[in-house]
Amino acid sequence: MEKITVIPPSTTIDRRLGLNLLYQMMLIRRFEEKSAELYTKSKIRGFLHLYIGEEAVAVGVIQALTAEDNVLATYREHGHALARGMDAGVIMAEMYGKMEGCCRGRGGSMHLFDVGKRFFGGNAIVAGHLPMSVGMALASKKLKKSNITCCFFGEGAAAEGEFHESMNLAALWNVPLLMVCENNLYAMGTAIRYSHAVQELEKKGAAYGIESAAVNGMDVLEVEKAARAAVEKVRSTGKPFFLVCNTYRFRAHSMFDAELYREKSEVEEWKKQDPIPALRTKLMELQLITNNDIGSLEQKIENEVQQAVDFAEKGTLEPLEQLTRFVYSGPG
Amino acid sequence: MEKITVIPPSTTIDRRLGLNLLYQMMLIRRFEEKSAELYTKSKIRGFLHLYIGEEAVAVGVIQALTAEDNVLATYREHGHALARGMDAGVIMAEMYGKMEGCCRGRGGSMHLFDVGKRFFGGNAIVAGHLPMSVGMALASKKLKKSNITCCFFGEGAAAEGEFHESMNLAALWNVPLLMVCENNLYAMGTAIRYSHAVQELEKKGAAYGIESAAVNGMDVLEVEKAARAAVEKVRSTGKPFFLVCNTYRFRAHSMFDAELYREKSEVEEWKKQDPIPALRTKLMELQLITNNDIGSLEQKIENEVQQAVDFAEKGTLEPLEQLTRFVYSGPG
Amino acid sequence: MNAGNDHIKLTYREALKQAIREALSKDDRVFLMGEDVGRYGGSFAVTKGLLQEFGPERIMDVPLSESGFVGAGIGAALSGLRPVVEVMTVNFSLLAMDQIVNNAATLLYMSGGQLNVPVVIRMSTGLGRQLAAQHSHSWEPMYAHIPGLIVLSAGTHGDARGMLLTALQSPDPVIIFEYTAMMNLEGTLPGHPETVNITKAGIIKEGKDISVITYGAGVYKSLDAANELSGSGIDAEVIDLRVLRPMDMETVFNSVKKTHRALLVEDAWGSVNIGAEVSARIMENVFYDLDAPVQRLCGAEVPMPYPKHMEDASVPQKEDIVAKLKKMLQHG
Amino acid sequence: MNAGNDHIKLTYREALKQAIREALSKDDRVFLMGEDVGRYGGSFAVTKGLLQEFGPERIMDVPLSESGFVGAGIGAALSGLRPVVEVMTVNFSLLAMDQIVNNAATLLYMSGGQLNVPVVIRMSTGLGRQLAAQHSHSWEPMYAHIPGLIVLSAGTHGDARGMLLTALQSPDPVIIFEYTAMMNLEGTLPGHPETVNITKAGIIKEGKDISVITYGAGVYKSLDAANELSGSGIDAEVIDLRVLRPMDMETVFNSVKKTHRALLVEDAWGSVNIGAEVSARIMENVFYDLDAPVQRLCGAEVPMPYPKHMEDASVPQKEDIVAKLKKMLQHG
Ligand SMILES: Cc1ncc(C[n+]2csc(CCOP(=O)(O)OP(=O)(O)O)c2C)c(N)n1
Ligand SMILES: Cc1ncc(C[n+]2csc(CCOP(=O)(O)OP(=O)(O)O)c2C)c(N)n1
Ligand SMILES: [Mg+2]
Ligand SMILES: [Mg+2]
């Protein structure tokens, strides 16, 4: 009934797509490096979860979606928000806790929302957004809309009961949902071997009759291709699909993490697969881009990130009189 | 890693085992028929969930356990309690709400407990006892005891997140747990096709690397054999096992159920597989028992059930002064 | 109640059903999802026949997956539908509480006003059928603690039929508590369902000697007690809070300013409950109007026992209310 | 505090850790299970190094499966072990609440006194790190509502170190709330961990003008406020409730009888909270001793906003307590 799809290695790539993917990954990387720096300066507070190393996943998958599709992510979602086209300044202002942020500064790093972009968080209860994503996909089906819902979550989340219930409901109701598991091998400090009896997560699709695939999440072209195939299937069949992206986080879980649970050498080993240089090299080899292109990309991104910071710095704090506004709708 | 075990059809059976299994199933049947009668007379109140039709499962599985093993069941547990050797009178008194009941009458039909028999309920939150059963098996492992834990639950329960979490934890921690899914095709009025995307539940074991088997739950000899093999495995390997018993409930879900959701003819069809006449016929054919045996079994059971009712009738109600006793330990 | 809307007799169950039918008829975006709402006809027969009337798209049976389907309801509400999610009974709602609290109640605020969650969650609640410890909870107080939720309690036939229709006009999540024990109770209502106010407490009976403030299963009991006492010259005012969050204190304060005395009646456990909140607010706001201390009559702080005499003793009965009122008024 | 037990300076974090280490050293049946308690070192570094000291059998990292592992802790407690289960933070505890309420708190009563559940569940709680709406909850009130639980709040260093040791002697389930924001706070304690009483409230500072009754994060804030006020001639008594269930009202009533005034301080949301319960009980029991109405200072009823100024404004600060006390005493 169910099957595990084998995605053939990526083949076609043109300059436009290549530059676009590269730009997005580099923007995310730079934006987050800057965020980390701002965190140490106490400009950003709360939890800050960096996506550095995993950029290929959000970029590759979201590339395959349309503007009408719904996207849900976790607290590690700067990359997804940027890939979704949210403005870097608005995100940065949110992390500064400023009114000009996407959520008036009330959400911070873990809670980015942008209804206009159909970006639904920024959800910080692990696996708490999975059931919602099923409901959004169900609504599309009931309303006979052609948009699909794409839900990102970690391999740690897949151990929660919500994963099981959501997979079963999605399959039972036949709703257009792309479940994307970002398997970065760790849930905080817990390696996957301590959280899953079966570590090849794509095998879990069979328990629900959901077609599944695993892909090298360090290669944005492979991710994009797999996602495109998956999205195509979801859209044409109206059925869910389970895509496992095997990846790695280069940084600590959050800014509070001393990384006692893994060897530096392991991290170094994985860094050799860094998706950004990998794509850069490939595009250069294919002679689709030049050193010049890289230079101007870097410049563009530097400006963009600096403008984001400036925007956030200039932002205003929400007046305390508004503290209880939006607990309920209507005048607060 | 995981596998689905194929249980060969039952072969050996002697008079002693045959009579024993028959006696237990007949006792459960008669006890429950009596209970239903007492319910209509308002002697028993609350919810009453009958196991009629499914007797082969509890009897076959529990037969394969030792007195030291732990047993947990659902609110549909009269059969399990009796098969576990709990006294019919004590169970009946419990359903009468009398002090002489196993739980002083406080639990009623849905909450039979008997620590001496290592019978841990009688649990009425669907799937709520699954995590506990993992913990009990974990304790056996940590304390280096040789007993195993056997947890019964319905196919409806397998849709709950607790099923997923419990299966994963049991496999991850390698604990001696026998998970017995009583697939009677309905969860209240919800047929399995409306609750599970994959209806061959034994396939779910693979998602956790848990060895699994499915067995005809209408044939007590097959159940007993499969359970014996499973228990043997759990005990020798210390690993969990997932046993699906395919069965059917002949009666309504509870006394409040108008059975709008299934055809009478479907029930009649299944009644042809009634495990009690099936075993009786088989034992007769094998000339292991005679009509006389049946007669004396019936007589014995009739007495036993009547004594249980008498015991319950004569029981006393707990004084209201004790209402708050046992909210906490120590003098109430 | 407009002219030409003749009054009819109907049970509480029928009142609930009329509301659901009316809601489904009036608005295509409305659908009902819950365990056994369809083929079974609803665990308390509230929804019997609605599947046949509206079809499986509007009346969705769901698997045992409380977190999953409540979350799906939230997701569907985010996507333009108006889901009515039935959690069969409050007893199972803890499994969905994370979804209700961390998603439904939080998304509007956390997204800076972007995301409305117009979901209505119905739960039957309370005791009275000897269903024992795991099936007799009264958890209104826990939900009333949560900002972002509108919490309604249908203690009368009018509210059983009217609250849902008004709730569906709310852009914010609404919980409606319905009372299991009242299902068969008859009342008289106008012929056609109408919306009711869901912001104000209700004065069920005017009186001048003492304010009896209650909700849910306490309403008719308190009214009966007050009526009984009017013979003996005690004129009690009975107030049904109706809206447990956000509470309408104006009605309560006005009553206390008139009567100078108050008794709070509820079935919920006796600590950290609705009565505590009302008492504290009376203390804080109209202390100097009091002629005597406000008193509470609440549920005994025990997991509900099964036997009838103990269950009855676990919550305030009409006789207890009568006795308490007499005592309070002699004393004053 | 015996002679020869010299005093040492230590942080709240260190106090918690010493308790765990002592508990593990003293009793082989004790083990700690929780997300990231081992290899990561604990999300707040409380358990750092304990895995190395006690090994993986005693310090168990568990997958993200709150219902599963809390339930497993309950099961292990039923089977002779003394599990200490850490729910990383209270924010995730709703996922385990069914296990806590319907199993841990209920089994003793429901089984008629047969089943003790000696499990200790630790949760860090509260706000103060700008973690926003899903990570800043103060849910002591919800747990304090549940009969069958012993609910402790470690608002001081002494309790951070002592409560666990006493809790482990309880045959009944204990919840211990620990305060995230206090982790780095230094205090002075005797050199060796000792058990503390877990049935009585604590008088943190004696005073005669007004009783400030609080718990948890409110304790040191209230003490600071009281100390500040002693200069201006206001002599406030500060009471730390410590045990939120079952509450020690004797200490509270004695204090109110002396001071005739009370202010209740807590970070939890302002309705149906601990303060409401204390206020109601004062009303019911020592009303005629009051010179003025009891008042509350509580958390704002909002999902916690991320920005510092808004988070600070969401809960009572020392300055608010000072101002309120001044106002109440001028008024009286
Ligand atoms: C229900 C719940 N439990 C625990 C946590 C604390 N926590 C936050 S992130 C995390 C690890 C999640 O790992 P994974 O799902 O693999 O995502 P990753 O962080 O690796 O992207 C944990 C335990 C939480 N936020 N929610
Ligand atoms: C968590 C929870 N949700 C809903 C219910 C109501 N309920 C009681 S039994 C039942 C059906 C369970 O079906 P299954 O697990 O197949 O067991 P069976 O009754 O068929 O033996 C339901 C929905 C419950 N008791 N607990
Ligand atoms: Mg991960
Ligand atoms: Mg079933």
Can you give the pLDDT at residue C332? 40
Which residue's entry shows tokens 């595990």? A4
Minimum-distance CB partner of C68 among A70, A115, A169: A169
Can you give the pLDDT at residue A330? 81
Say how far apart CA B270 and CA B266 lie, in whole Å: 6
The CA distances from residue C148 to A130, C107, C143, C190, in Å, are 21, 9, 10, 32
C331, pLDDT greater than 60? no
* Segments of chain B assigned E as strands: 70-74, 113-114, 119-123, 149-154, 177-183, 186-187, 190-191, 211-216, 241-246
Between the CA of B185 and the centroid of ligand 4 the distance, in Å, is 5
B125, pLDDT greater than 90? yes
Say how far apart CA C310 and CA C306 lie, in whole Å: 7
A165·C68 Cβ contact <8 A: yes
Residue type, D173: P
B323·C300 Cβ contact <8 A: yes
Can you give the pLDDT at residue A6? 62
Encode D225-247: b = buried (16+ Cβ within 10 Å), e = exposed: bbebbeeeebebbbbbbbbbbbb
What ligand 2 atom has the least distance to the C-alpha of B74?
21
D330, pLDDT greater than 50? yes
Is residue A172 less than 8 Å (CB to CB) from chain B? yes
B2, pLDDT greater than 60? no
Among left, alpha and beta (phi > 0; psi -120 to 50; other), residue D254 is alpha
Q: How would you classify the pairing of strands C7-11 and C186-190? A: antiparallel
Q: Which two tokens stand for residue D80?
A: 């002779």
D314: helix, coil or strand? helix
Q: Is the CB of C253 under 6 A from ligand 2?
A: no
- Considering C66, C140, C277, C311, which one is annotated as catalytic? C66
Element at A28 (helix H, strand E): helix A15-40
Q: Is the CB of D35 under 6 A from ligand 1?
A: yes
D72·B131 Cβ contact <8 A: yes
Which chain B residues are Cβ-neighbours of C314 within 8 angstroms? 323
pLDDT in tens, D7-38: 999 999 999 999 999 999 999 999 999 999 99
What ligand 1 atom has the least distance to the C-alpha of A153?
15
B161·A165 Cβ contact <8 A: yes
Q: Are D65 and A197 in contact (CB under 8 A)?
A: no
Is residue B258 less than 8 Å (CB to CB) from chain C? yes
Between the CA of A157 and the centroid of ligand 3 the distance, in Å, is 8
Can you give the pLDDT at residue B255? 87
Q: Is the CB of A194 under 6 A from ligand 1?
A: no
What ligand 2 atom has the least distance to the C-alpha of B157?
15
Say how many C-beta atoms besides its own lie within 10 A of residue B291's C-beta: 9
Whether D266 is catalytic is no
Strand order in the sheet with D236-240: D202-205, D236-240, D210-214, D262-269, D295-299
* Segments of C44-101 assigned E as strands: 59-61, 82-89
Say how far apart CA A300 and CA A30 lie, in whole Å: 11
Average pLDDT, chain C: 97
Q: How confident is the model at residue B332 (pLDDT cuts 50, 70, 90)?
A: low
The CATH number for D202-329, chosen from 3.20.20.70, 3.30.1280.10, 3.90.1300.10, 3.40.50.920, is 3.40.50.920
Between the CA of B132 and the centroid of ligand 3 the distance, in Å, is 27
Q: Do domains D2-190 and D202-329 have the same CATH topology?
A: yes
The residue in chain B having the minimum alpha-carbon distance to the alpha carbon of residue D80 is B139
Helices (H) and strands (E) in chain C, counts: 12, 14
Can you give the pLDDT at residue C1? 42
Start-to-end CA span in chain A (Å): 52
Q: Is the CB of A187 under 6 A from ligand 1?
A: yes
Among left, alpha and beta (phi > 0; psi -120 to 50; other), residue C126 is left
Whether C309 is catalytic is no
Higher pLDDT residue, C223 or C6? C223
Residue B125: nearest ligand to its CA? 2
Fold entry, domain A4-314: Rossmann fold (3.40.50)
Q: Is the CB of D132 under 6 A from ligand 1?
A: no
CA dihedral B20, B25, B26, B31 (to 10 degrees): 120
Say how far apart CA B327 and CA D149 lie, in whole Å: 9
pLDDT in tens, B18-54: 999 999 999 999 999 999 999 999 999 999 999 999 9
Can you give the pLDDT at residue A332? 53
Contacts of C194 (CB under 8 A, 6+ apart): C1, C5, C162, C165
Among left, alpha and beta (phi > 0; psi -120 to 50; other), residue A127 is left
Say how far apart CA A209 and CA D73 lie, in whole Å: 32
Q: Are A57 and A214 in contact (CB under 8 A)?
A: no
Least confident among C165-169, C191-195, D76-80: C191-195
Q: Is the CB of A184 under 6 A from ligand 1?
A: yes
Q: Which chains are adjacent to chain C, needing at least 3 Cβ pairs under 8 Å?
A: A, B, D
pTM over cut 0.95? yes
CA distance B330 to chain C (A): 15
Say how far apart CA A191 and CA A214 lie, in whole Å: 18
pLDDT in tens, C61-97: 999 999 999 999 999 999 999 999 999 999 999 999 9
Can you give the pLDDT at residue C4? 59
Q: Which chains are adjacent to chain D, needing at least 3 Cβ pairs under 8 Å?
A: A, B, C
Which residue's entry shows tokens 């809309």? A145
Contacts of C249 (CB under 8 A, 6+ apart): C278, C281, C285
Q: How would you classify the pairing of strands C82-89 and C120-125? A: parallel
Among left, alpha and beta (phi > 0; psi -120 to 50; other), residue A130 is alpha
C36·B188 Cβ contact <8 A: yes
D111·B143 Cβ contact <8 A: no
Q: Tens of pLDDT along chain A (332 residues)?
A: 457 776 655 557 899 999 999 999 999 999 999 999 999 999 999 999 999 999 999 999 999 999 999 999 999 999 999 999 999 999 999 999 999 999 999 999 999 999 999 999 999 999 999 999 999 999 999 999 999 999 999 999 999 999 999 999 999 999 999 999 999 999 999 999 999 999 999 999 999 999 999 999 999 999 999 999 999 999 999 999 999 999 999 999 998 899 999 999 999 999 999 999 999 999 999 999 999 999 999 999 999 999 999 999 999 999 999 999 999 998 65
Q: Where are the domains of chain C?
A: 2-190, 202-329
Q: Which two tokens stand for residue D167?
A: 């809790």
Contacts of D288 (CB under 8 A, 6+ apart): C293
DSSP label at residue C100: I
pLDDT in tens, D119-160: 999 999 999 999 999 999 999 999 999 999 999 999 999 999
3-state helix, strand, coil in chain D (%, to 5): 40, 20, 40
B11, pLDDT greater than 90? no
Pocket test for ligand 2, best of B160, B188, B196 (most atoms within 8 A of CB): B188
C2, pLDDT greater than 90? no
Q: How confident is the model at residue D1 (pLDDT cuts 50, 70, 90)?
A: very low
Q: How would you classify the pairing of strands D262-269 and A241-246? A: unpaired
3-state helix, strand, coil in chain B (%, to 5): 45, 15, 40
Q: Does domain C2-190 have CATH number 3.40.190.10?
A: no
D3, pLDDT greater than 80? no
CA distance D135 to chain A (A): 8
Average pLDDT, chain B: 96
